[in-house]
Structure 1
Amino acid sequence: MAPHRAFSEVERWSEQFEALVQEIGWRFSRKDVRRHAMDYLRGLLGPAERKNGWQLAEAAGEASPAAIQHLLGRAVWNADAVRDDLRTYVTRHLKDPEAVLVVDETGFLKKGRHSVGVQRQYSGTAGRIENCQIGVFLAYAGEHGRAFIDRELYLPREWTDDAARCEAAGVPRDTGFATKPQLARRLIEGAIEASTPSPG
């Protein structure tokens, strides 16, 4: 790619990112939380090889991951409302009457046992049984591009049957067991109800 074209692409990406910030930024009522949320997004999209708290904090110029940990664990904001804004943004900018919804799962390897939903289970990411979390993701894909628009964390029965463990991890009390296909169906139905184009 020619240098001037690459620079133009970077400028366009930056402009679109700022437009997205304007779209979802108001969901974070506190100015500091809003800034940390945008830093977090920039870090996820940036070149850091590992997207852990320390790496993302370093990319944001922070001395420690405390701000990111606060954003993800204690700050008050509605993740589903941000999801709705993102879904609207994606379908507006990538609008395609022939678009499809794509569902897939991915595993996140973990070392401990306290992360919500973690246990030894098969991970397609690793290609074997590992201590991990499993997420089910929904993407919108069309002629103009593709993007994730929703997610669900898979909770094994060992978690949903252990009320004390769920409470300690902050899992809502009314969360019941659902298979990964059931989670996928829930995601698709949610997208269709939100008028997101569905597979034909």
Structure 2
Amino acid sequence: MLGGELAAVRCDLEDFAAEMFESFGRVDQRRWGAVYLRGLLLDGGRKSVEPMAARLGEDGNRQALAHFITSSPWDAAHVRARLAWRMQPVIRPTPLVIDDTGFLKDGDASACVSRQYTGTAGKVTNCQAGVSLHLASNNASAAVNWRLFLPESWDPASPKADAAKVARRGRCGIPAGVGHVEKWQLALDMVDETRSWGLDVPLVIADGGYGDTAAFRLGLEGRGLDYVVGISTTTTAQPGDAQLCIPACSGRGRRAGPVYPEAAKTVKSLVLAAGKRAARPVQWREGSRPGTGRSGHKRMYSRFVALRIRPAGREIRKATAGGELPVRWLLAEWPADQDEPVQFWLSNLPETTPPATLVRTAKLRWRIENDYREMKQALGLAHFEGRTWPGWHHHVTLVSAAHAFCTLQRLTRSPKETASA
């Protein structure tokens, strides 16, 4: 029975690889793409070229694998588009989720490596930073697009350029036209590219690294997209019922325009003013640990405050030309055992949206943390040892494909079959 299951998985992998690499112009590219994908899926420690080659038997040609992943001229975007087309009908995504992750490095020769903050380490350290876009639903998720963040020190046009890093651009294969772009703009670029593939997912989720940037939120709104994004406690806003007024004119000078009667307050202050009694319990899913939920697992729930507010800030006022600030949802998690709220989100979902829907949407971001964990621990996302720009993009794309294949196996086969294979 086990042999039959394994043969079926191998057949599925061959079909999947053929679909992903159909756009490759050469037979050898399609062959080594399938071999590299299989190397990522094999049990073992590191998933860099040399240890994978040692595990691949007669296909373990280290030189051919290294050439394929580092310098072979295939376009990662073509594979990502095919990956998105393959996963969209299976996942049936309700949001696109934006996030970023760090790739820790010891040296300084890899493309775009720099001392910068990464949540991977929880501190400023030497690393690369990759921004990713995921299709997600309650049941599954898949990373289908990537960008490698280029710090200002690597951009010759930046006043913060580092001469040594700029000199390494050629050796790292960084295209001449690639300069420093903020992560939130890379995220918007990926949203645009993903939509150009024909995927119309009208909701975006992101954490505070993106939600705190008004330009990111305005960019989503300008594209007609809804969002639920994390924000920091210091984000300022007017209460939802605040009204503009015309200040009294005290002289013959130019008459002042309409203003709000009070200064904007932090979102934390607004939630504290609403009080702990405004928090309502919401369960958003059942976890993986044993518990009292319907599936026998622990229920994930907390208490939340949902308020209507008018986000403030210079960019918002500029976008409204000094007029009335738009009303948005503020969601705050305030656990029963805490004296203050612990997490905040902002959303432009309709006023009729139930607070429970806001909570379940905001909390769906956990799937992306799960994606990163699986790709890093089992599939070698951070194991690429090459130093080039195209090599990094090739590797993360194929790791995403390997992760998607595992997801397909989980969704289409019984847990017993998948574990055996």
Residue number in structure 2 paired with 1:159:
154
Q: Which residue, out of 66, 78, 86, partners 1:69?
A: 66
Residue number in structure 2 paired with 1:36:
32
Matches within 5 A, 1:57-136: 57-61=53-57, 65-94=62-91, 96=92, 99-136=94-131
CA contact (8 A) 2:98 2:133 kept: yes
Larger displacement relative to structure 2 (30-39 or 178-187): 30-39
Higher helix share goes to which structure? Answer: 1
Larger displacement relative to structure 2 (160-169 or 36-45): 160-169
CA contact (8 A) 2:18 2:30 kept: no
Residue number in structure 2 paired with 1:198:
202
SS in 2 for 1:115: coil
Q: Distance in 2 between matches of 1:31 and 1:122?
A: 41
Q: Distance in 2 between matches of 1:198 and 1:22?
A: 30
Q: Distance in 2 between matches of 1:80 and 1:57?
A: 25
Query: What one-letter code is carried by the residue in structure 2 that aligns with 1:198?
Result: P
CA contact (8 A) 2:98 2:131 kept: yes
Q: Distance in 1 between matches of 2:44 and 2:100?
A: 23
CA contact (8 A) 2:49 2:66 kept: yes
Larger radius of gyration: 2
TM-score, normalised relative to structure 1: 0.84
Q: Which residue, out of 165, 177, 182, partners 2:180?
A: 177
Q: Which residue, out of 40, 46, 52, partners 1:50?
A: 46
CA contact (8 A) 2:103 2:127 kept: yes
CA contact (8 A) 1:123 1:134 kept: yes
Alpha-carbon shift at residue 143 of structure 1 (Å) = 4.4
Q: Distance in 2 between matches of 1:80 and 1:108?
A: 21
CA contact (8 A) 1:109 1:132 kept: yes
Query: What one-letter code is carried by the residue in structure 1 that aligns with 2:51?
Result: Q
Alpha-carbon shift at residue 144 of structure 1 (Å) = 4.7
Q: Distance in 2 between matches of 1:55 and 1:28?
A: 25
SS in 2 for 1:26: coil
Q: Distance in 2 between matches of 1:67 and 1:124?
A: 34
Q: Distance in 1 between matches of 2:7 and 2:141?
A: 20
Residue number in structure 1 paired with 2:171:
168
Query: What one-letter code is carried by the residue in structure 2 that aligns with 1:165?
Result: R
Alpha-carbon shift at residue 13 of structure 1 (Å) = 4.4
Alpha-carbon shift at residue 120 of structure 1 (Å) = 1.6
Larger displacement relative to structure 2 (146-155 or 112-121): 112-121
**Structure 2 CA distance for partners of 1:90 and 1:81, relative to 1, 3 Å:** same
CA contact (8 A) 1:192 1:198 kept: no
**Structure 2 CA distance for partners of 1:41 and 1:76, relative to 1, 3 Å:** same
Alpha-carbon shift at residue 118 of structure 1 (Å) = 0.6
Tell me the alpha carbon deviations over residues 78-137 of structure 1, each in whole angstroms, 9 at most, x when there is no partner: 21111111111111333x2x5211111111111221211111212211222221111111
Alpha-carbon shift at residue 164 of structure 1 (Å) = 3.4
Query: What one-letter code is carried by the residue in structure 2 that aligns with 1:17?
Result: L
CA contact (8 A) 2:81 2:194 kept: no
CA contact (8 A) 1:160 1:166 kept: no
* Identity among equivalent pairs (%): 33
Alpha-carbon shift at residue 37 of structure 1 (Å) = 1.3
TM-score, normalised relative to structure 2: 0.42
Query: What one-letter code is carried by the residue in structure 2 that aligns with 1:183?
Result: L
Larger displacement relative to structure 2 (60-69 or 126-135): 60-69
Between the two proteins, the alignment pairs up a number of residues equal to 194
CA contact (8 A) 1:40 1:60 kept: no
Q: CA RMSD in A?
A: 2.5
SS in 1 for 2:168: helix
Tell me the alpha carbon deviations over residues 6-58 of structure 1, each in whole angstroms, 9 at most, x when there is no partner: x75x5664444223212123333333332221111122233222222222222
Query: What one-letter code is carried by the residue in structure 2 that aligns with 1:192?
Result: R
